Amino acid sequence: MTPIELEKRAFELADKLIDGEKLSKDDFALLIRAERELPEENAAALREKLSKRALELKQLHYGNAVYVRGLIEVTNYCKNNCLYCGIRRGNPTVSRYRLTKEQILSCCAEGYALGFRTFVMQGGEDAYFTPERVADIVREIKRNYPDCAVTLSLGEYPKEVYALWREAGADRYLLRHETANAEHYSKLHPAEMMLETRMDCLKNLRSLGFQTGCGMMIGSPYQSYETLAEDLVFIRDFRPQMVGIGPFIPAHDTPFANEKAGTFEQTLFFLSIVRILLPEVLLPATTALGTIHPHGREMGMLSGANVCMPNLSPADVRSKYSLYDNKLYTGSEAAQSLNDLEKRLETIGCNIAFVRGDSKLTE
């Protein structure tokens, strides 16, 4: 295919996508290829076409509101050894920590006073956080703040465990699928981790009534146009309430330490496509996006994102939850600097909504 044919076909497919037509995996792969391979001017026009539509859809469903979530990184101990992740079990240079129940509750108290109405408990898969211990913390948060939502992001567990957490009051669960292609999954994870297990977890979470989030890194090693196309087909068909998309950023002392980071532009392109595929989705402009570009959060919002997750972890542990190098945790990434975030959002005509911000996506 000549560059001219590629451009023509990509713009036709963008029109189809905007019109709500169903694209095939090959169509998505071509669109993704065009964004990478067309001359920058044409690629930028393609991105702009999709971001314009994504922004319209976001405004239609959410207006100028940005939902904020207080992110509490409860532990950086992890039994897993994901090749990309800075807190993988095999990284000996990580200074490990875990928060106590009291510390987590005091993060919530501080967050509540700041205006947060969703708390996200995220962490590595740490045996200290037994199913009952997590359930107990969730119950306590819900007892203290019945008007708040609790999101968990603690990794893979059997259905019974998810059910216990749901009964304890957890509302949402974030578990990125990382890639919808089994071979690619096996190159990002050690042999004991399987895509099938991840997908079963996601289905279980959904069936238990969690607002469920999947997602992937953009630019992870061994990713291809085809694997990314499979991600989009999966996201469209699974219809998650939330999608976490951020660039892959290498982390020192991991097998992928010397790999290239994902690009800012491609990440924005995917935010727009996902907003168009699922107009009512909750879509964060991630910390990773803020890390690779000084205006990452704002540009993410202009490309279709509508959620921000400032860091509410105790200040002394923030630097230890280093999933990748140079991860931001100060300035507008810090929950304490909501004013700073608000000012940045004002520059693009958005404002923070101090509400739970549930998903509007129905079955």
Binding site for ligand SAM (CB under 6 A): 84-85, 122, 124-125, 153-155, 175-176, 178, 217, 246, 248-249, 251, 288, 323-324
CA distance 248 to 286: 11
Structure tokens belonging to residue 71: 């992110």
CB of 333 to ligand SAM, least distance (A): 14
CA distance 12 to 158: 44
Task: Choose between 67 and 84: whose C-beta lies nearer to ligand SAM.
Answer: 84
CB of 286 to ligand SAM, least distance (A): 8
CB of 79 to ligand SAM, least distance (A): 10
Residue 211's beta-bridge partner residues? 172
Q: Which of 99, 100, 97, 101 is nearest to 87 (CA)?
A: 97
Cα Rg of the chain, angstroms: 19
CB of 98 to ligand SAM, least distance (A): 13
Q: Which amino acid is at 221?
A: P
Structure tokens belonging to residue 160: 């019974």
CB of 16 to ligand SAM, least distance (A): 29
Task: Choose between 29 and 251: whose C-beta lies nearer to ligand SAM.
Answer: 251
Cβ pair 324, 249 in contact under 8 A: yes
Task: Choose between 138 and 345: whose C-beta lies nearer to ligand SAM.
Answer: 138
CB of 238 to ligand SAM, least distance (A): 16
Cβ pair 85, 254 in contact under 8 A: yes
Task: Choose between 197 and 330: whose C-beta lies nearer to ligand SAM.
Answer: 197
CA distances from 6 to 28, 44, 91, 232, 293 (A): 13, 14, 43, 20, 29
Cβ pair 130, 159 in contact under 8 A: no
Residue whose pair of structure tokens reads 């959410």 in the numeric block:
62
Task: Choose between 234 and 324: whose C-beta lies nearer to ligand SAM.
Answer: 324
Task: Choose between 62 and 157: whose C-beta lies nearer to ligand SAM.
Answer: 157
Cβ pair 37, 2 in contact under 8 A: no
CB of 49 to ligand SAM, least distance (A): 27
CA distance 124 to 309: 18
CB of 126 to ligand SAM, least distance (A): 9
CA distances from 75 to 44, 165, 187 (A): 40, 18, 25
Task: Choose between 308 and 345: whose C-beta lies nearer to ligand SAM.
Answer: 308
CA distance 49 to 11: 9
Task: Choose between 71 and 338: whose C-beta lies nearer to ligand SAM.
Answer: 71
DSSP 240-262: -SEEEEEE----TTSTTTTSPPP
Task: Choose between 121 and 229: whose C-beta lies nearer to ligand SAM.
Answer: 121
Cβ pair 290, 297 in contact under 8 A: yes
Cβ pair 173, 153 in contact under 8 A: yes
Residue 247's beta-bridge partner residues? 218
CB of 39 to ligand SAM, least distance (A): 28
CB of 176 to ligand SAM, least distance (A): 4
Task: Choose between 77 and 225: whose C-beta lies nearer to ligand SAM.
Answer: 77
